[in-house]
Amino acid sequence: MQQEEMLLKRDAVIIGAGRIGRGFLAEMFLDAGCNITFADTDHSLIDALNRAGSYRLMKTSGKTDETVEISGYRAIYADNDSDMLDALCRENAIAAVAVPADALGQIAEVLAIALARRTMEHPQIPLDILVCVNTMSPAARLRSMLDSMLGGAALSYLRNRVGLINTVLLRVAPFPPKQMLLEHPLMVLDNGYPSISVDAAAFCGLPLRSKMVRLSDNIRAEDIRRIYTLNMAHATAAYIGVGKGYLTLNRAMEDEQVRREIVGALEESAAGLCSAFGFDAYELHQWNGEILEMMRNPLLDDGLIALGADTSRKLSLADRLVGPAVLAMRAGVSPVHLANAIAYGYLFSISRDSGTMRCQQLLGQRGIVAALEIISGIDIKHPLQNLLLEAYYSAKDELDQKSSR
């Protein structure tokens, strides 16, 4: 009984008050009976949250809409060491990290200091941290960072009392339309996907009790499925859509050729996932259908530049395009649609982020063969190379002809 009461009174620290943090995670922690503290480096956002005292979460599936009022939280500056450490070192704290992948190192520095303090103040009380970062195996990456920063008793506390928990979340949360933001500046708009999968074995304390939390016995397979389907479909829409002159997901999805490429890529990925992880083909077909429905939802529009940014990461060997292409080929399926998306990914130069610029510089200086080897891990011996080269030169010819008109 005492454990259950403590669970209900947990203090949840959401590191990253963006659309996922203010959206699904806030709703989930409230459903679990937690007190909520948002932490973010964006001082204007934190000030606005504190002034407002509440905001709206609008969940739209394309068929039904639901509005949830989020209130009763507090918000602190993530770069205020005192406030952050006090929040993370509360006896009954639980945390969630919802930041971009490239901010994980900065968060690790804050967490390392907090863990060192918890080692002194609460050496026997665990701290569980849900890692909601859109990259492969983010909990392992975060643990490796923390491992290199800590020593002695704090390192022992990390290894024995800290649960770094991989999650799989299918909430899609684009920027709301301008009219909505004019009326409700802090509004979050998302697709209302009802649950998050979490690694059941990774908790060091009591698992979070909420109808929105699903404990998974194979989070790795679920994580790969998400990245090789949802993230892959978004990347395919971005790269091929931009190649055809579109800038938003809705506009790209109106194009029959773009839709065919996405459907084909999902089918190729499904073949590889079923072969490699034993997913049921019919259930995966239904899963992919839900993804297509999400992408067709007119209220869930998103910018293709943002969806395609950081091509050095998104075109890497185990990530959302090359990864499923490799699995499909192992399953005996020629991944022609995935190859097209990869080819257009290498021609995606509209974003000015460092990852995309690095990819374009390498491509310009050393050519596609070297770029495929260095970024995607596809060398001359790899069975995918010829298919990718053929797709690349075909896509390049098409874009060159379009630009010369």
Output the DSSP codes for 206-233. PPP--TTEEEES-HHHHHHHHIIIIIHH
What is the three-class DSSP state of 189?
Answer: strand
The whole-number average pLDDT for the span 70-75 is 97
The pLDDT > 70 percentage for the chain reads: 98
Which distant-in-sequence residues (6+ apart) come within 8 Å of 216 by Cβ?
168, 197, 198, 199, 200, 222
Strand (E) positions, 213-343? 213-216
Mean pLDDT of the chain: 94
Q: Give the pLDDT of residue 403.
A: 81
pLDDT tens by residue, 220-253: 999 999 999 999 999 999 999 999 999 999 999 9
Q: Give the pLDDT of residue 405.
A: 72
Which distant-in-sequence residues (6+ apart) come within 8 Å of 59 by Cβ?
65, 66, 67, 68, 190, 191, 192
Residue 404 reports pLDDT greater than 80: no
Length, in residues, of the chain: 405
Look up the pTM and report it.
0.87
Domains of the chain in start order, with CATH, are 2-217 (3.40.50.720), 221-404 (1.10.1040.10)
The whole-number average pLDDT for the span 45-56 is 98
Contact 342, 249 (CB under 8 A): no
Strand (E) positions, 102-190? 127-131, 162-169, 188-190
Residue 103 reports pLDDT greater than 90: yes
Higher pLDDT, 9 or 161: 161
